[in-house]
Structure 1
Amino acid sequence: MQTLLPLNFVPRTPPASFWQPVSAKTDLPPVTTTPEVAAALSRDCVVAVGVSGGKDSVACALATARYLDEIGHTGPRVLIHSDLGRVEWRDSLPSCERLAHALGWELLVVTRQAGDMLARWEGRWQNNVKRYADLACVKLILPWSTPSMRFCTSELKVAIISSALRKRWPTQEIVNVSGIRRQESAARSKMPVSVRMPKLCRKGAEGLSWHPIIEWKVQEVFGAIADAGLQLHEAYTRYGMSRVSCAFCIMSSAADLEASVSCIDNQPVYLQMVELEAASTFGFQSGRWLADVAPHLLSTDLQAKVERAKLAAAEREALEARLPAHLLYTGGLPTAVPTFDEATLVGQIRRRVAELVGIEVRYLHAAEIRDRYAELLDRREEHAPNSLVIV
């Protein structure tokens, strides 16, 4: 097997198999398709490959371009990159531009008009504070995305990309391509090769999501990039990242967070994110605070804020654990009205949480808390009249 990948292209402490990329020209597997994808491509549909600058999206674009040439596809082809703003690596857009130049494809760059990823987290926190103040939620809600609630992907990538593609090609069939691979995670190992994409579908114009390199191994990904003569993203080559997404991602390993913060370009947004941790009392990842990744970068004032936030977080979690389970909200609304004693407890917890976080809240007394629960239950009753439980 021909070795094509220089050692400095390899992420820090990789498994032994990582060091042996295969040749894209001779040994790479074919792309994986479905009858639905094949039919769409035969009709010369629009093919849009989502690219982040990371290895999988680059290899996916290369493999897709090669396959389209092989089958004689003559429809529109485009790379599309959703720029997440301050949380992006400096080399992400240039990496996408290098790929576009190599393929001779157009690169569309889209952004969220209401602000970047960090602005979305900051705005979410302000909205959640308002919701808590109005007892529209009984527990304070974190600002961050989570593995089970990845609005960073759904809102700032899928929704924006789908909208941009439909505006560009309002009446044409579109296949949206991404570099998901089964090897990446247990969840991705179960993903389909292709699936109908409702956000792309219009009357008379279908939309599909396609994962052509879903069966590829990581060595094959690096091999394809090396064979194409493309420069890898500096996150791999200079900082030893195992994956490229946001500079600080909710899915990142501890090692990747440390590698990312070692890049000077990423340190301003790192400090802004730590400020949000301190203000909200929520660590960036479950059980892990960004503040602990590079405490030497924090000012004395910010270090003190973080320590107070950690203490406040522990007390907040203990307080909220005392809330009776039947008083927690389901689908954003309560399912029962608390007794007077229960409402008194809710008020005591809310008052202390507000003090800990430094926010002002309404509904602190038992009678008004019961009235507020009843008001919100009326909203639930409009949709499911038999779901109420009045205690």
Structure 2
Amino acid sequence: MKTRIIASALAKRFPDRPILNVTGIRRQESAARRGRPVAARDPHLTSGKREAQIWNPIIEWPVEQVWQTLDDAGLEIHEAYRVYGSSRVSCAFCIMSSIGDLRAAASCPDNHEIYRAMVDLEARSTFGFQGNRWLADVAPDLLDAEMRSAVASAKRAAIERMWLEARLPRHLLYVKGWPTAVPGIEDAELIAGIRRRISTLLAIDAAYLTGPAVRDRYRDLMAAQSPDQPLH
């Protein structure tokens, strides 16, 4: 995602000039990167007016060579590694981080405020930061009693929310192009009932809480997708 944003900026800045996109990825980092070439045409930057290449000069390097090169150059290692023991530097709290890196991030005082803000989102939404892994469990000592209580309530609510969501049959779940049909009366009542219970559970002011309202909403969404599409 980050590279796409950078590529977009480069394309706007250099609309008709060749671009060499140099990255620091290494095969050792992941299974996906293991098969990457040393160099290749960059499909995101190449256009009719511009040729672009990706070059991954250290793709074969083991991590030990990275550290040795930095040491030989006399460069100071980022404090995330040097002070807090992270294995990778990314966002302060990354959804792809290991539990060790999440704990390392939480141990940095500069991250405490954002940690509490993100835990607050967990508590209010009933969704854990990494699915079944809650950020609140990474450093509970940074939370006050009120927030710890709110998280405990959110976890209980999450169990009920997931149970309610699981009641939706497969044909009502999201698919590409959703919605593809207006639900029947029985299905609409089921959706409305689940919405009522979840809105109460999460204390949110939801709309479309009756079967007819749900069916009307589906009709509106489908009409917005394709004004000429017949509703059924």
What residue is the counterpart of 2:187 in the other structure? 342
Structure 1 position 231 matched with structure 2 position 76: yes
Once the two structures are superposed, the pairs formed by residues 164-179 of structure 1 within 5 Å of their partners are 164-179=9-24
Q: CA deviation at 1:165?
A: 2.5
Helix, strand or coil at the partner of 2:11: helix
Q: CA deviation at 1:195?
A: 4.5
Once the two structures are superposed, the pairs formed by residues 233-382 of structure 1 within 5 Å of their partners are 233-331=78-176, 333-378=178-223
Q: Distance in 2 between matches of 1:198 and 1:284?
A: 33
Q: Is the 8 A contact 2:129 2:135 kept in 1?
A: yes
Q: Normalising to structure 2: TM-score of the pair?
A: 0.89
Q: Distance in 1 between matches of 2:90 and 2:139?
A: 19
Q: Identify the match of residue 217 of structure 1 among 51, 59, 62.
A: 62
Q: Is the 8 A contact 2:17 2:50 kept in 1?
A: yes
Q: Distance in 2 between matches of 1:277 and 1:194?
A: 42
Q: Distance in 2 between matches of 1:332 and 1:269?
A: 36
* Residues 52-85 of structure 1: CA deviation (Å, up to 9, x unaligned): xxxxxxxxxxxxxxxxxxxxxxxxxxxxxxxxxx
Helix, strand or coil at the partner of 2:53: strand
Q: Distance in 1 between matches of 2:231 and 2:33?
A: 39
Q: CA deviation at 1:345?
A: 0.9
Q: Is the 8 A contact 1:179 1:214 kept in 2?
A: yes
Structure 1 position 187 matched with structure 2 position 32: yes
Q: Give the total of aligned pairs.
A: 232
Q: Distance in 2 between matches of 1:176 and 1:209?
A: 5
* Residues 211-245 of structure 1: CA deviation (Å, up to 9, x unaligned): 22222211121122122111111111111111111
Q: CA deviation at 1:296?
A: 1.0
Structure 2 gap segments, 5+ residues each: none
Q: Distance in 2 between matches of 1:253 and 1:356?
A: 31
Helix, strand or coil at the partner of 1:176: strand
Q: Normalising to structure 1: TM-score of the pair?
A: 0.55
What residue is the counterpart of 2:45 in the other structure? 200
* Residues 293-326 of structure 1: CA deviation (Å, up to 9, x unaligned): 1111112221122112111111111100110110
Q: Distance in 2 between matches of 1:209 and 1:254?
A: 32
Helix, strand or coil at the partner of 2:201: helix
CA 1:299–1:368: 2 relative to 1, 3 Å: same
Q: CA deviation at 1:270?
A: 0.9
* Residues 234-292 of structure 1: CA deviation (Å, up to 9, x unaligned): 11111111111112111111111112211111111111111111122111112111111
Q: Is the 8 A contact 2:103 2:139 kept in 1?
A: yes
CA 1:375–1:192: 2 relative to 1, 3 Å: farther
Q: Distance in 2 between matches of 1:187 and 1:163?
A: 23
Q: Is the 8 A contact 1:327 1:335 kept in 2?
A: no
Q: Distance in 2 between matches of 1:275 and 1:207?
A: 43
Helix, strand or coil at the partner of 1:200: coil
Structure 1 gap segments, 5+ residues each: 1-153
Q: CA deviation at 1:371?
A: 2.8
Q: Distance in 1 between matches of 2:227 and 2:23?
A: 41
* Residues 334-359 of structure 1: CA deviation (Å, up to 9, x unaligned): 23332211111110101111122222
Q: Kindly indicate whether structure 1 or structure 2 has the higher relative contact order, using CA contacts under 8 Å at least 6 residues apart.
A: 1
Q: Distance in 2 between matches of 1:358 and 1:208?
A: 52
CA 1:381–1:329: 2 relative to 1, 3 Å: farther
- After superposing on structure 2, the runs of 4+ consecutive aligned residues of structure 1 that deviate more than 6 Å are none
Helix, strand or coil at the partner of 1:337: coil
Q: Distance in 2 between matches of 1:179 and 1:389?
A: 52
Q: CA deviation at 1:331?
A: 2.2
